[in-house]
Amino acid sequence: MGLFRGRWKKKEQQLNERFGAAGVAITGKDAKNANKIEQYVVERLEQIIELAREVEEEKSEYKKINSYLNDIQILENLSEEEKKKVTETAVNVVQLNTARNDFLNSTRKLTDVQFAQLESQKDDIPAAIKRLAANEVYRDTLKKDMNYLEREKAEWTLHREYLGSHKRNLKNLVYVCFGLAATVAVTLLLLQFVFRMDTYNAWIVLMIVTVAAVCCVLFKVQNDDSDFIVAEKNMNRAILLQNKVKIKYVNIANAIDYACEKYHARNAKELNQLWEYYLEAVKEREKYQRTSEDLEYFNGRLVRMLAQFKLYDPQIWISQVMALIEPKEMVEIKHDLVTRRQKLRDRLKFNLVNIRQMEREAEQAIAKVTDTRMKPQLQEILQSIHRLSKII
């Protein structure tokens, strides 16, 4: 039993340092403790704020993707004459790019498509590599924590079942003791009244042994009851902390999946390798870029031409110029944006569901706060967070 308690307290302290104190269920007994309820409410509000911040970032990315999709729609709806002008300029850009790329080493480590993708996102990739690597480490840590908590929960569950079974056996033992005592008592009565034997000392011994045995068994039952309560409490705390870790794990796993989808890499290591290849390619291309005055001219001409159509980001089409010529390329770009938008929508929905659930839990807890000065403050904070998270 001491081993269970020692392992749980040590791991609980590590997890609380990483995530903050674990939320505790509000029971009738807990409702009497205002400090515990207020702490629970503050923890829930902090979690809501954290999720609301993620929602705001996701909304910003979602709006950007929608803007790119609107640009594609505008380009698809151009008149034939406008499309012809754009296509002619785009063809010049492609031809100049091809001529420039012929100077590059034939043993390139990146394809033109990969280079274009990295170039279009070059401002974000260095930070994205660090963020993705940190998220992968955090995800692995959360997974280890979930596995540990699952084992801890199973151990406490088994220990609780063992204590319950042991308690039932001890109660049966009490009945056995009384049965044996009754049998011995009947025997002593026969010896005393039938055979006229002196059984006074035997009666004394019987009573002492019976009382001692029953007291020992009852003491052990009481001790098992105390251990059973401790085991149940620790099992419930393990479940609550495991649920909290699971929410963080799902969020971080979704963020990693989205980053890998966005940058077309399987992990941070691969993305970093692609980025290094890109930097090497950039150095090579810079040698020839200085003499590419025609290319710069047509790039600028293409951007100015596209800007006339009020596009969200005309500059992006420099790195996606083939899409202005080949419809299949445009379809692939559109599909990629739609896929990213769906993933963002799913993440938004998941986070909003969690925010609403936490708001309900916070409302229920605030209703039990007895501090008349603290309660209005908590209600005002919750209402402000609710209004903020509601603007989606």
Q: How many domains does the chain have?
A: 1
Q: What is the pLDDT of residue 123?
A: 84
Residue-wise pLDDT for 174-198, tens only, equals: 667 677 767 766 776 777 666 666 6
pTM greater than the 0.75 cutoff: no
Are residues 34 and 366 in contact, defined by beta-carbon separation less than 8 angstroms? no
Please give the single-letter amino acid code of residue 207.
M
Q: Which portions of the chain are predicted below pLDDT 50?
A: 1-32, 106, 391-392
Helices and strands, counts by H and E, the chain: 11, 0
When computed from its CA atoms, the radius of gyration of the chain, rounded to whole angstroms, is: 36
Q: Would you say residue 172 lies in a domain?
A: yes
**Residue 389, domain member (yes or no):** no
Query: 176 lies in a domain?
Result: yes
pLDDT given for residue 174 in this prediction? 67
Q: Examine residue 61 and state whether it is found in any structural domain, yes or no.
A: no
Asked if residue 149 is part of any domain, the answer here is yes
Q: Identify the sign of the CA torsion 251, 253, 256, 257.
A: negative
Query: Contact, 221 vs 167, CB < 8 A?
Result: yes
pLDDT at 302: 92
Residue 16 lies in a domain: yes
Mutual angle of helices 200-263 and 268-289, in 10-degree steps:
20
Domain that holds residue 165: 1-23+123-264
Report in angstroms the alpha-carbon separations of 138 from 47, 182, 270, 274, 347: 17, 66, 18, 23, 18
Predicted confidence (pLDDT) per residue in 196-254, tens digit: 666 667 667 767 777 676 677 667 766 666 666 776 787 778 778 888 888 888 888 88
